[in-house]
C-alpha cells in the first residue's frame, strides 16, 4: 500500500513533505483496513488520500491523454495489421490484451515503445475457441474497460466483434482507469454506447454499481472484462464472461496458471 502511494504521489508531483503527509494518513488508517476485501477496494484509501492532499481530481489526466494520443497516432497501422491477419478477431483480442500493459498506475516506468515492440505476443492461456462459440450466439456485448491507454485498442476490437456493444467505464477518475472523457478521446462512441459503471474503485464491485450498468450486466449475452482489477472483483460472478488481461502480480498469476507479464483470455469458471 505504501509503495503504491509513493508511486501515485510522485505522478501527482507532490512534494516530499506532502508525500510524508500521505504516508502518515495511511498509517493511521491501516488499522481500519478490511483485509478480506479485494485489492481494488483497499486501494481506494490511497487514491482518496492523494486526491485530497494534491487537491486534484484526476491525478493521471495528462499521462492518460499522452497514452491515448500515442495509441491514436498508430490507429491506422494497427487497424491494417489486424485486418490483414490470418485471424483478425484473434489479432484484435491480442492487441486489446497487450494494451492492458499500458498502465502507469501499476508501472510508472513503463515504455510505450517497448509495448509496441511486442504487439504480436501470443496468449499464454487462451479460451479463444470457447469465446468464438459464445460470440456466435451473441447479439449484445458488454465490455468493462480498464486503463485509459488501452481504449484505442478496445475500439479496434469492437470493430472486429461486429455486434452491439456497450462500453462501461469508471464513474470518476481513479488511477489511470478510463472515464467517459478517456473513452470519447479514443473515439469509442463511434463504435459503442458508453456508460458509467457507477463504481469509483479500480475494479467493478457490483454492490457499488449503478442500476443502468447492472441492467446491462445482467442482460448481456457476452461480457468482456478488461484488466486485473476487474478480474479480482468479478471472477466469482456467474455470468457469460471472459477476462482479457495482462498479468501484473504473482498472486493472480498463480491463481490462473500464468506468469507475471503474460497476456491471457480466460473464460469465467464461476
At residue 110, the pLDDT reads: 62
| Closest by Cα among 142, 140, 203, 130 to 170 | 203
| Cβ within 8 Å of residue 219, ≥6 positions away | 140
CA 180, CA 188: separation in Å to the nearest integer? 9
Residues 103 and 15 in one domain: no
Query: Does one domain contain both 172 and 249?
Result: yes
Helix, strand, coil in percent for the chain, rounding step 5: 50, 15, 35
Q: What is the pLDDT of residues 113-123, one digit of tens each?
A: 766 666 778 89
pLDDT at 105: 61
Coil/strand/helix, residue 86? coil
According to DSSP, the residues that pair with 144 across neighbouring strands are 168, 225
CB atoms within 10 A of CB 174: 25
pLDDT at 56 over 90: no
The C-alpha cell at 127 is 479460451
Does 29 share its domain with 134? no
Return the bridge partners of 116, or none. none
- In the prediction, which pLDDT does 9 show? 78
Name the more confident of 239 and 7.
239
Is the pLDDT higher at 159 or at 2? 159
- Residue 177 pLDDT exceeds 70: yes
Beta strand ranges found along the chain (DSSP E): 125-126, 140-144, 164-169, 193-196, 222-226, 241-246, 263-267
Residue 161 has pLDDT above 70, yes or no: yes
Q: Which residue, of 10, 27, 54, is where some domain finishes?
A: 54
Give the span between the Cα atoms of 30 and 19, in whole angstroms: 16
Which residues, other chains included, contact 199 with Cβ-Cβ below 8 Å and sequence gap of 6+?
Answer: 170, 171, 205, 208, 209, 210, 213
Are 90 and 178 within one domain? yes
For residues 164 and 50, membership in a common domain is answered with no
Q: What is the pLDDT of residue 270?
A: 65
Counting the structural domains of the chain, the total is 2
Domain span at 21: 2-54
Are 9 and 132 part of one and the same domain? no
Residues 6+ apart with CB under 8 A from 51: 57, 59
Residue holding cell 505476443?
Answer: 121
Q: Are residues 39 and 70 in the same domain?
A: no
Residues 27, 108: one domain? Answer: no
Here the cell at position 82 is 489486424
Do 16 and 70 lie in one domain? The reply is: no
| Lowest-pLDDT range of 17-31, 52-66, 225-239, 252-266 | 17-31
Mean pLDDT, residues 231-258: 95
Q: Is residue 50 domain-shared with residue 69, that is, in the same domain? A: no
CATH number (domain holding residue 103): 3.40.50.10880
Q: Which comes out higher in pLDDT, residue 203 or 110? A: 203
CA-nearest of 236, 223, 69, 58 to 145 is 223
Report the pLDDT value the prediction gives residue 97, as an integer from 0 to 100: 93
Question: Do both 48 and 83 map to the same domain?
Answer: no
- Considering the domain architecture, whether residues 82 and 169 belong to the same structural domain is answered as yes
Distance, CA of 251 to CA of 207 (rounded, Å): 24
Residue 258 confidence (pLDDT) above 80: yes
Percent of the chain with pLDDT over 70: 93
- The rounded distance, in Å, linking the Cα atoms of 138 and 152 is 23
CB-CB contact of 70 with 96 (8 Å): no
Amino acid at each position: 500500500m505504501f509503495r503504491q502511494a509513493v508511486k501515485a504521489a510522485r505522478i501527482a508531483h507532490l512534494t516530499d513533505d506532502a508525500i510524508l503527509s500521505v504516508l502518515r494518513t495511511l498509517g493511521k488508517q491501516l488499522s481500519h483496513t478490511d483485509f478480506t476485501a479485494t485489492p481494488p477496494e483497499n486501494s481506494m484509501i490511497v487514491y482518496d488520500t492523494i486526491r485530497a492532499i494534491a487537491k486534484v481530481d484526476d491525478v493521471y489526466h495528462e499521462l492518460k491523454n499522452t497514452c491515448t494520443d500515442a495509441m491514436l497516432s498508430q490507429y491506422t497501422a494497427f487497424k491494417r495489421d489486424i485486418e490483414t491477419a490470418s485471424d483478425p478477431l484473434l489479432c484484435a483480442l491480442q492487441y486489446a490484451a497487450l494494451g492492458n500493459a499500458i498502465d502507469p498506475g501499476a508501472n510508472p516506468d513503463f515504455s510505450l515503445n517497448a509495448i509496441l515492440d511486442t504487439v504480436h505476443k501470443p496468449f499464454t492461456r487462451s479460451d479463444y475457441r470457447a469465446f468464438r462459440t459464445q460470440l456466435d450466439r451473441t447479439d449484445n456485448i458488454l465490455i468493462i474497460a480498464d486503463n485509459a491507454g488501452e481504449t484505442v485498442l478496445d475500439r479496434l476490437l469492437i470493430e472486429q466483434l461486429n455486434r452491439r456493444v456497450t462500453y462501461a467505464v469508471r464513474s470518476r477518475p481513479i488511477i489511470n482507469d478510463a472515464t467517459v472523457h478517456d473513452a470519447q478521446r479514443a473515439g469509442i462512441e463511434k463504435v459503442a454506447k458508453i456508460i458509467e459503471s457507477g463504481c469509483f474503485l479500480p475494479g467493478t464491485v457490483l454492490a457499488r454499481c449503478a442500476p443502468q450498468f447492472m441492467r446491462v450486466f445482467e442482460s448481456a449475452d457476452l461480457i468482456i472484462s478488461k484488466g486485473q482489477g476487474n478480474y479480482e472483483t468479478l471472477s466469482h460472478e456467474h455470468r457469460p464472461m471472459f477476462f482479457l488481461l495482462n498479468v501484473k502480480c504473482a498472486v493472480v498469476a498463480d491463481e490462473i496458471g500464468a506468469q507475471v507479464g503474460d497476456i491471457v483470455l480466460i473464460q469465467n469458471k464461476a
